[in-house]
Amino acid sequence: MMKYKFAICILLSVVAIGAIARDIDEMDRDAEAYFEKKDFSKAINLWLNILDIDPDNERIQKKIEMIYDLKQKKDISIQKAKINYKLAKKTLMKIRKSEELSSKEIDESMNIIRDKSRIAIRSFITAYRIDPKDPEFIEMKEEMRRLDKEVKAEEEREKLSRELKEKNLRLRSLARKMMKEEKYETALQYWEEILSFLPNDKVAKEGQRSARLAIDNRLKFEKIKSLMASGTQLLKEKKYKKARLEFVQVMNIDPDNGDAKDFIEEIDDKIEEQRNYQAMLLQTEDFYQSGLNNLRNNEFDQAREDFENVIALIEDYKDAKRRLASIDRLRKEYEERVKAAKLQRITREFQNGLIALSEGRYKDAISAFEITLSLDSENALAKKYIARAKDAQQLIEEETVDENSPYFDIINSLIVSGKYLYEKGRYVESRNKWNQILKLFPKNKIATEYALRIDLKLNPGAYKIFADRLIREGKKFLKNRNYSAALKKFEMIKSISEEYPRIDEMIAKAKAGIREKGSVIALSARRTGPITPALRKEINRRYRLGITYFRRGGKNNIEKALAQFRWIVQRDPNHIKSIISVNKIEAQLRIGTSTVKTRRKRLTDKQIRLARKYYYRGINYYSNNDFKKAIIEWRKVLAIDPYNVKAKNNIRKVLVYIGR
């Protein structure tokens, strides 16, 4: 029965996986169909739905990226088209309205017009081919056609002979004069004469139409004239919305009025610039505040990104340039503070380790030296002393089995039995218990002591062998200047047999060594002889000299100080102050050659999923022209993964685009 249930579960799983795969394939086909129809919003929504089901689907990810790339190409093209269209129109109006341009200035202006109009039209075509359904393109298409027609008309005028050019300018000047003097019939004749040899001249066409309107409908003409004058004045005063209303009224009265249309176009550009600037101002302030916050948190790379984004939007915003320029200095100051704090902690922990080691607190010593090595992995002295502390701690653990040991219950039971049997005088049985302990822990203190006592009672020869071995171990500790360990061995022998030869002399030597401050920590070259008063005087002189060099600072003086302290440690391995100074300087020299690096944190699976979600959500907003929300999503990505290159690049590109 269980087999059948298991088989059914497997079958249902396979069916479910197959259904999901079919759903994904179907959604993908629908998305492709939308994409072919240039309906990018629906396509991207479907592909994002697929990613919700299958987040690691690289094929779908690439398709979403493809839409983003197309959208970006379209946006850049349309931006280029608009900028160059405006430049071409502005230069055209300059030529039409000015009567004082030289031939050279006119030629230069025409070159600008040709170049900018060509780029505008070509960029528009590129954008249009990507997304012909964009409603913005309907009006732009007409604008591009008009621009092309106006450029051709201007080129036609430029092809005239010098005589006709001069005639055109003369007639235009006369016509304008007649219009001002309200001699509209005469003005009309001048305009028509220009059109006889320049049939597409926009200035002449507009003049002809205005003159006829003045002749045919004086009231209408005067109303338009009044509105145009009012609108022009409001435009000069930068009252764009009011000025636009005046020109719109002109268009309502005279739908073909080209001058009013040009003014409306100019005002719309200025209003759009103001609107964009306000949005850009908010975005810029957001980045500026983020930059300040990152500086406060010593996140210098992210602060640099923020201030660079500020400048990309508004070049001279507040003190962004100064803040950006200060980052290297602030980073250096921060690194120096971190180094100083690190060095201070290394010295403190190393000193704590030495003190703990000298006092026999080996676990504390190990902990302090481990911290030292975590801060300064190449610290040779800490490596040596931690080895000494571990050896000493291991010896203690071998001598005594504490409650944390997995053997505690067994050993404790054997100790209780061994003591009981010893007190009852059953020495052979007691010795067996101690032997069991010594097989597991050959240096166990209590087992060794009782074994010696029993051997002394039952087998003096065995006792002597055992005792001699302990004395040899003690003498080895004495030779290695580990006086505490030596003293333990000697005192154990004396507690059992006070008559052991020269035991008091050996105990005295061990105690004398312990009294010598720091003797348990000596690791450097051993002294070859006693420290004479003359040598002690030289050691003190060199120590003061080393301190003087160190306080002067500079690499050369610090290295001189190190040489003095090393000399002292070689002659007196127990000179604690010099050992600490050697370690401090060596650590300082190592740390001084390194920089504080920000390590890239490894992202968790949850962080990877979130970053991907925000990234593609940003693409979706961008594809729907919601640039502000797109940037917000990509900044969420950077909050999780500050090194995400795609999100950084996308933000920068969008900022450049909306900054224009």
Token pair in block for residue 195 = 């059109």
CA–CA gap between residue 280 and residue 627 (Å, rounded): 11
CA dist 150 → 142, 155, 198, 260 (Å)? 12, 9, 12, 16
pLDDT for the residue numbered 595: 46
pLDDT for the residue numbered 586: 80
Burial 598-617 (b: 16+ CB within 10 A, else e): eeeeeeeeeeeebbbbbbbb
Residue closest to 59 by CA, chosen among 27, 19, 13: 27
CA–CA gap between residue 84 and residue 82 (Å, rounded): 6
- Phi/psi-derived region of residue 298, left when phi > 0, alpha when psi is between -120 and 50, beta in every other case: left
Please name the amino acid found at residue 581: S
pLDDT for the residue numbered 325: 93
pLDDT for the residue numbered 660: 52
Q: Which residues contact 482 (CB under 8 A, 6 or more apart)?
A: 392, 520
Per-10-residue mean pLDDT, the chain, length 660: 49 49 80 82 82 80 81 79 82 70 73 85 85 79 82 74 79 89 90 87 86 86 88 90 91 86 85 77 85 90 85 85 92 88 87 81 87 87 85 70 75 85 86 84 78 79 80 84 78 78 85 62 49 85 87 84 86 81 81 54 80 84 83 85 82 72
pLDDT for the residue numbered 231: 92
Token match 């394939």: residue? Answer: 25
Residue closest to 589 by CA, chosen among 561, 548, 547: 561
Token pair in block for residue 576 = 């604690």
Tell me the whole-structure pTM to 2 decimals: 0.52
Token pair in block for residue 488 = 């333990």
Residue closest to 658 by CA, chosen among 125, 90, 72: 72
Query: Long-range pairs for 399-402 at CB < 8 Å and ≥24 separation?
Result: 399/441, 399/443, 399/444, 399/445, 399/488, 400/444, 400/445, 400/446, 401/441, 401/444
How many degrees, rounded to 5, is the angle at CA 553 between CA 548 and CA 559? 80
Residue closest to 641 by CA, chosen among 617, 589, 606: 606
